[in-house]
Structure 1
């Protein structure tokens, strides 16, 4: 599985930890789209390339981290085809994959600690979409995107 990852300054340290864990413990490929330090940056500049790459199918999933995860989630969800989910607990990590087929995970580096972030990431990356009645709901979301977002 190929994972695109990025963070702003508020999520930089957690991004580095998560990136290493994905490669070393899960054996997945990760490409880092920034940022590269603690200097203040604007989260939309980092959410956009990850969301675009995931929407284009160049990466299987994306992970975005900012101070709260909220800004990254809002920004990523502006890209057609992205279903970014803000997750801060284990149950939501599993259900957002199983029911919502989320393709971008967002987390808050100032909200959760490294251990829970690691577990959320593991669950989210290893859980699969269950389909069934949930597919009908995703079709409705796709229709909304067509109506309001167009190309």
Structure 2
């Protein structure tokens, strides 16, 4: 699986460390879509769009890939990523301290839930809320979480794709 990364200046240093971690420690193929220089005046939309566009193209081609985008809060980055067809970007800025219980009574953490219920293929990190170690742990957990393909979740994902054209 290929993992695309993107962040503006607010997440630049952490993103660089996370790229190395995911490639060297977790063994995934990685592409750094930027920012490639730390410019405090850069704007995140164009940078995040590079990774989201590549992920969207992979989705259309049936390729297994994911994207990790990051910024100060991760909010705007998630919004940009979700503008691209086939991209389902979940926002993460830390463990809420509560487990989620799904309709069957199964306990899920929020990261697992984004995969099992939404087949999220992009993760936006709010790096002003996470330490580097927390971000690494979140990425490790999220990348390993499967999408089991339960019919009701697959149906809903299809409906998302239908309404976003």
The TM-score normalised by the length of structure 1 is 0.91
Q: Distance in 1 between matches of 2:64 and 2:80?
A: 18
Deviation (angstroms), 1:88: 2.4
1:123 corresponds to which of 137, 141, 151 = 141
In 2, distance between residues paired with 1:70 and 1:140? 23
**1:17 Cα deviation (Å)?**
1.5
| Superposed displacement of residue 38, structure 1 | 3.0
| Distance across 2 between alignment mates of 1:59 and 1:49 | 17
Mapped to 2, the partners of 1:96 and 1:89 lie a distance apart of 14
Q: CA deviation at 1:47?
A: 1.1
Q: CA deviation at 1:50?
A: 0.6
Secondary structure at the residue paired with 2:68?
strand
Report runs of 4+ in structure 1 exceeding 3 Å deviation.
none
| Aligned equivalent of 2:103 | none
2:153 aligned residue (129, 134, 144): 134
Tell me, in whole angstroms, the C-alpha distance in 1 between the residues paired with 2:112 and 2:15: 20
Q: Are 2:111 and 1:106 equivalent residues in the alignment?
A: no
Give structure 1 stretches of 5+ with no counterpart: 147-151
Larger Rg: 2
Q: In the alignment, is residue 73 of structure 1 matched against residue 78 of structure 2? A: yes
Deviation at residue 8 of structure 1 after TM alignment = 0.2
> What is the count of residue pairs matched by the alignment?
146
Match of residue 98 from structure 2: none
Cα displacement (A) at 1:59: 6.4
